[in-house]
Structure 1
Amino acid sequence: MFISVQNNQFIKNNKPYHFIGTNFWYGAHLAAEKSGNRVRLLKELDVLQTHGITNLRIMAGSEGADHLPYSIPISMQPKLGVYNDDILEGLDFLLFEMKKRDMHAAVCLSNFWYWSGGLSQYLSWATGNQIPYPNDTGNWEKYMRFTANFYGNEDAISAYLMHVKTIITRINSISGLPYFEDDTIMSWELANEPYAIQHRQEYLNWIENSSKFIKKLAPNHLVTIGGEGNTPFSFFTNNNCLSDYSFDSLDYITIHIWIQNWEWYNPEKHDSTYQKALRKAKNYIKDHIAVANTLNKPVVLEEFGISRDNLIYTNQSSVNHRNIYFKDIFNILLEHTKMKSPLVGCNFWAWGGLGTVNTPGEVSNNNLEFIGDPAHEPQGWYSVFENDASTLQIIKEFNSELNQQNL
């Protein structure tokens, strides 16, 4: 059964659909028969299902040569228009196994950030210009301004749209079902965290044209941008949630909250910074619920997380502070779902599962041992692992409460 939107709510089988899910961005790569690990994938899907997780935010795009620095090691599209069938079939396998477990996918089609290639790689292919990796230069603004040039480059946009069409019209090699007919897919996201920056009007044009294009290809699926919302730095990102999501071709709003990255919270000073950070997070949610009410659309908090206690990166370290934060966020969600607020679900960042932190706290490609932390970030930073039993129990309990509401 396809997930639909009625007013500001998700609906499944004529009932509300609320969820606590996760980001499982590497799912297609883990599911690849040759370069992945299907035994591990199946175990992880079973663990997620056992804890009531039915919604996975996954990536359906990785671009650029294999083993690029700070990127997914094996690319889905290593050259422009040339695909790695092993990764594509991994995506088929992932969706097929998710369907068995009555799970749904929010499928992200590209990325503003370079850890999966994304918009910067399409722009590099179109112009021949090298991507200015901020891990090398230390200059994040230069990278972001470079990537925002994507919205004004017709060749880069054409390449992106060709990828969108390739994925959405793909026939699953296992089920034989076209992706656009697969109700395992809840929604398509234009890209992960796209910023407008210096190209505001071109950015809006890209949102409108791309979302309409997807709607024509997959009329039964939901469409959203995949962004953070207004961010605390909207003076630079030049995003405006109210206008960004005003198009009829967009079905719901996404927001991300990063209390640590945004320097609201210091894990080494939890007692003195946490409550203030939580208040800011609540206000961020409140502000975007107001936008959702204005547009009469649901809103999903699809990325949030904090580090393990005292910024220790090994997956054996404690997660007491993370558990407190997750409980607080889940309680906010539960409160709003009870009152039929537009806040309908959340996806924590990110599932690390049975993976191993090979280089704790260091940037690396993690030797194909996929965890929740992308290659350009410290490994073990935000991952939730299968051995984080206390966190998983909290997730299970809150999902059980949400399921009671869905009855």
Structure 2
Amino acid sequence: MNKTLLFLLAGILIVFSACQQKHEANFVKVANNGFTLNGKEYSFKGANYWQGMNLGAPQSGDQQRLLRELDEMQELGITNLRILAASEADSAMRYCIHPALQTAPGVYNNDIWQGLDFLLAEMGKREMKAVMVLGNFWTWSGGFPQYLRWAGMGEVPYPQEPPTSWQQFTDYSKQFFSNDSAQEMMKNHIKTIIGRINSITGKAYKDDAVIMAWQLANEPRGYDVPKQLQKWMRATSAYIKSLDSNHLVSLGTEGNTADLVSGVNVLIDNDDSNIDYITMHIWAQNWGWYSPEQSDSVYTEMLQKVNSYWDVHVDAAKKLQKPIVLEEFGIARDGSSFSPDTTTNCRDRFFEFIFNKVDESIKNNGMVRGVNFWSYSGEGRPPHPGEFWKKGDTYLGDPPHELQGWYGVYDKDSTTLAIIKRCCESKF
């Protein structure tokens, strides 16, 4: 081979390598049991802000409020937002966000699409990363129950309407994992959103480094059909990877729950090459471990349960050699009040405990490398605290299927925000 050809080939390789590095720049990757960004170790402190795309909608939303709240979170040091990248609801769907992104199978509300475009564009300006939630086991974004309705499986049994029970609802929602028609509808949405071109930035979502990860669903549970859940998770993760090699994929499960009946298993569920990192949720109050009106002795017992739960997930992460994100945790205001005027002493104490655990893990190269608290309500206030969200109500961090004012952190919760800011500013 002559020298001219060698020089030509070398030049081509250099150009190709430079283009590849430029293409991969700013995408979060997984390496050495942790996250990396542009070749450096990466960890993050963030929030759940699922309502962002609805606030960003130019017609039905409030873009100025969205900009103020993004600025507020940036000032706190928040660099990661877990957001909805899907919502499904026809006019009859209840206990869910309206307006929805998808109003019938394959039929989209362009106003909400533009809201998501706007949110991602503004996050990019603030160097924030997005975890994009693609589905939901619960009704608050339509999710599996809406897909099942569209697939002809009958009306949703809403547990918010007695005498319907939560088991009746979960028996309904888990049918998604064996319903080919419902799964195909969601698969079509996944293909649509990964290939979407942002109307503001001109970037395809699959090429947008603002996005850290695609997440299969919010809290999918298998209950008595865990094999069906696992089959769906593996097939869907592989499908996402076949469409997009730039972004990470996570499940969105709680990891484990407080009992065995939910049909999730942090070790088995995440043992798949297409799952890049483990998700963990800690819901001490929902799981009956503690509520703010109880005694300090119960609080101490709750912390012991949290530590044990944490350790089980860390052990699973070590076996799988994958990092963990604690992407949901929260607790109610003092006395379990729904009023925004109620103090947050119990919440502050719990937030400080959790954030300290996360900081300690990051400091010592532990398996937990990121956290998203639940959730940022910003300027929003419930018009009727302790009642369910209704169409036309302001958007809060509390989802529509739960009583409004339960867990959301407001922009005036100064003591809670100070703890979040102190945690976000921790450098190691």
**In which range does the TM-score fall when normalised by the shorter chain?**
over 0.9
- Once the two structures are aligned, what percentage of the paired residues are identical? 45
Deviation at 1:365, TM superposition (A): 2.4
Task: Measure the CA separation in 1 of the matches of 2:68 and 2:125.
Answer: 13
Of residues 127, 132, 152 in structure 1, which corresponds to 2:178? 152
Give the match's secondary structure for 2:103: coil
Task: Measure the CA separation in 1 of the matches of 2:236 and 2:128.
Answer: 26
Task: Measure the CA separation in 2 of the matches of 1:325 and 1:154.
Answer: 42
Note if contact 1:67-1:73 (Cα within 8 Å) is conserved in structure 2. Answer: no
Note if contact 2:89-2:98 (Cα within 8 Å) is conserved in structure 1. Answer: no
Deviation at 1:288, TM superposition (A): 0.2
* Corresponding position of 1:29: 54
Task: Measure the CA separation in 2 of the matches of 1:117 and 1:366.
Answer: 14
**2:272 corresponds to 1:247:** yes
Note if contact 1:105-1:186 (Cα within 8 Å) is conserved in structure 2. Answer: yes
State the TM-score, normalized to the length of structure 2: 0.92
Of residues 348, 353, 362 in structure 2, which corresponds to 1:328? 353
Matched letter for residue 158 of structure 2: Y
Note if contact 2:291-2:332 (Cα within 8 Å) is conserved in structure 1. Answer: no
Give the match's secondary structure for 1:165: helix
Structure with bigger gyration radius: 2
Cα–Cα, structure 1 residues 270 and 15, in superposed 2: closer, same or farther, change >3 Å? farther
Give the match's secondary structure for 1:251: coil
Of residues 375, 388, 391 in structure 2, which corresponds to 1:363? 388
Task: Measure the CA separation in 2 of the matches of 1:213 and 1:159.
Answer: 14
Cα–Cα, structure 1 residues 147 and 326, in superposed 2: closer, same or farther, change >3 Å? same
Note if contact 1:366-1:379 (Cα within 8 Å) is conserved in structure 2. Answer: no
Deviation at 1:192, TM superposition (A): 0.3
Task: Measure the CA separation in 2 of the matches of 1:241 and 1:397.
Answer: 30
Of residues 135, 145, 151 in structure 2, which corresponds to 1:120? 145
Task: Measure the CA separation in 1 of the matches of 2:230 and 2:148.
Answer: 18
Deviation at 1:155, TM superposition (A): 0.8
Deviation at 1:270, TM superposition (A): 4.2
Give the match's secondary structure for 1:158: helix
Note if contact 1:191-1:226 (Cα within 8 Å) is conserved in structure 2. Answer: yes
**2:229 corresponds to 1:203:** yes
Note if contact 2:46-2:373 (Cα within 8 Å) is conserved in structure 1. Answer: yes
**2:243 corresponds to 1:217:** yes
Task: Measure the CA separation in 2 of the matches of 1:208 and 1:148.
Answer: 16
**Which ranges in structure 2 are unaligned for 5 or more consecutive residues?**
1-25
* Corresponding position of 2:212: 186
Cα–Cα, structure 1 residues 57 and 67, in superposed 2: closer, same or farther, change >3 Å? farther
Task: Measure the CA separation in 2 of the matches of 1:270 and 1:102.
Answer: 42
Deviations 1:16-51 (A, max 9, x none): 222221100010001000000000000000000000
* Corresponding position of 1:274: 299
Task: Measure the CA separation in 2 of the matches of 1:198 and 1:321.
Answer: 35
Matched letter for residue 185 of structure 1: I
Note if contact 1:149-1:199 (Cα within 8 Å) is conserved in structure 2. Answer: no
Task: Measure the CA separation in 1 of the matches of 2:307 and 2:237.
Answer: 29
Cα–Cα, structure 1 residues 158 and 366, in superposed 2: closer, same or farther, change >3 Å? closer
* Corresponding position of 2:167: 141
Deviation at 1:67, TM superposition (A): 6.7
Deviation at 1:233, TM superposition (A): 2.0
Structure with more relative contact order (C-alpha pairs < 8 Å, separation 6 or more)? 1
Task: Measure the CA separation in 1 of the matches of 2:358 and 2:345.
Answer: 20
Aligned-pair Cα RMSD in Å: 1.1
* Corresponding position of 1:264: 289
Matched letter for residue 226 of structure 2: R
Tell me which moved more, 176-185 or 264-273.
264-273
Tell me which moved more, 147-156 or 312-321.
312-321
State the TM-score, normalized to the length of structure 1: 0.97
Task: Measure the CA separation in 2 of the matches of 1:67 and 1:55.
Answer: 33
Deviation at 1:254, TM superposition (A): 0.2
Aligned residues: 402
